[in-house]
Amino acid sequence: MESGSNWFRRFLLPGFAFKAVVIGGGYATGRELATFFMPSGPAGGILGMLVVTAIWSLVCVLTFLIAVRVGARDYRAFFVHLLGPLWPAFEIAFVLGMILILAVFAAAAGAIGHALFGWPSMIGALLLAGSITVFATFGNESVEQLFKYVSFFLYATYAVFLFLALTRFSGPIAKAFEVPVQPGWFSGGLTYAGYNAVGAVLILPVLRHLRGSRDALAAGLLSGPLAMLPAILFFVAMCAFYPQIANETLPSDYLLARLDFPAFRYVFQIMIFAALLESGTGQVHAINQRIALAYAKRRGTELSNKARAAVTVGILLGAIVVADRIGLVALIADGYRWLAIAFIAIFIFPLLTVGIWRLRRDHGGSPQAATAQ
């Protein structure tokens, strides 16, 4: 049993964790898929998703290899190695980006609560914030268990969703894929991959289970497909109502209403909330681990659960205010594009240049133990 658990934590957990931090509100509701992939048509959207999968796998492989080699267990240690004295540039971009991303999650949770129960948007957002606080407060083990079980629930729900869509809308889906590929699929994929690829750095705490470079390579290669598979399944189902579905704030709810399966509609929306929960928890956990390691280094003691909870609540309240002022569609359409440019410049470009150069230079050296805390 322990062997199977170790295998899961070494090879699948990093991919599940990466999926957790990238899925968020726009992916799970279909809003991001409509924004970045639907304009290129159904076939073009799939091409864009394959671009994303390849980029994510490459970024995860390089990030995991560097992290294992230098013993980085939080994003600060990683970027000190990658960017040297310029590492604070990432932290500034990340904190601002995290507020934006969590605002998207809060807006999505509010939209789900309103769609299902007629609640004011603030109720769903506060419910999500409270749930994230519970899991983020108790550290690595709590977060890893959340990633594991939500992932199983999520993959199963998307598989059932695709099955129902193909059963009821196979004709419209097939017809949609007859539309020629439209321009922009590569740039859409690059933009989407760009602002989400930072998730590879946010999940460094779960890499403590890796035993060396071979584990890092295998886990990294699996991360791209594990993260993108649910999106591809969802996108195919969405294509039954191309192109009008692209204008919906919640494409998921639009499609679920037309499936006319009320029980599954509730299951799917619960799954979206769970996806928001694991993604938001992953974002906040990265900050908590960064603070916890710095605190332990300076004070020689662990960061308390009360302190973790206080940090979490402060971040989430700021995000909820942003979500209430701006809204889901505008946050994704405008904010994410600027975020993509920042992370490509600060993370992906240095990773593909300095990162590869340092890996080649250090080739043959003994990586530090992946189990270092």
pLDDT tens digits, residue range 191-219?
899 888 989 998 998 998 998 999 999 99
Q: Return the closest-CA partner of residue 336 out of 131, 154, 160, 107.
A: 107
Q: Domain count for the chain, please give it.
A: 1
Task: Please indicate, yes or no, if residue 370 is contained in any of the structural domains.
Answer: no
Give the dihedral sign, CA 35/279/312/80.
Answer: negative
Task: Please indicate, yes or no, if residue 1 is contained in any of the structural domains.
Answer: no
Task: Please indicate, yes or no, if residue 371 is contained in any of the structural domains.
Answer: no
Task: Please indicate, yes or no, if residue 307 is contained in any of the structural domains.
Answer: yes
pLDDT tens digits, residue range 127-182?
988 999 999 888 788 888 888 898 999 999 989 988 999 999 999 999 999 999 99
Task: Please indicate, yes or no, if residue 241 is contained in any of the structural domains.
Answer: yes
pLDDT tens digits, residue range 260-283?
888 898 898 888 889 889 888 988
pLDDT reported for residue 1:
34
Task: Please indicate, yes or no, if residue 191 is contained in any of the structural domains.
Answer: yes
pLDDT tens digits, residue range 302-351?
888 888 889 888 888 877 777 666 655 565 566 667 778 888 899 999 99
Q: Return the closest-CA partner of residue 141 out of 300, 5, 322, 299.
A: 5
pLDDT tens digits, residue range 218-240?
999 999 999 999 999 999 999 99
Task: Please indicate, yes or no, if residue 343 is contained in any of the structural domains.
Answer: yes
pLDDT tens digits, residue range 72-115?
988 899 999 999 999 999 988 888 788 777 877 787 788 778 87
Note the pTM of the prediction, 2 decimals: 0.83
DSSP string computed for 184-244? THHHHHHHHHHHHTTHHHHTGGGGGG--SHHHHHHHHHHHHHHHHHHHHHHHHHHGGGTTG
| CA–CA separation, 191 and 197 (whole Å) | 10
Give the dihedral sign, CA 269/151/277/66.
Answer: negative
Residue range(s) defining the domain that contains residue 250? 7-361
Q: Say which CATH number the domain at 279 has.
A: 1.20.1740.10
DSSP string computed for 10-58? IIIHHHHHHHHHHHHHHHHHSHHHHHHTGGGHHHHHHHHHHHHHHHHHH
| 111 neighbors 332 (Cβ within 8 angstroms) | no
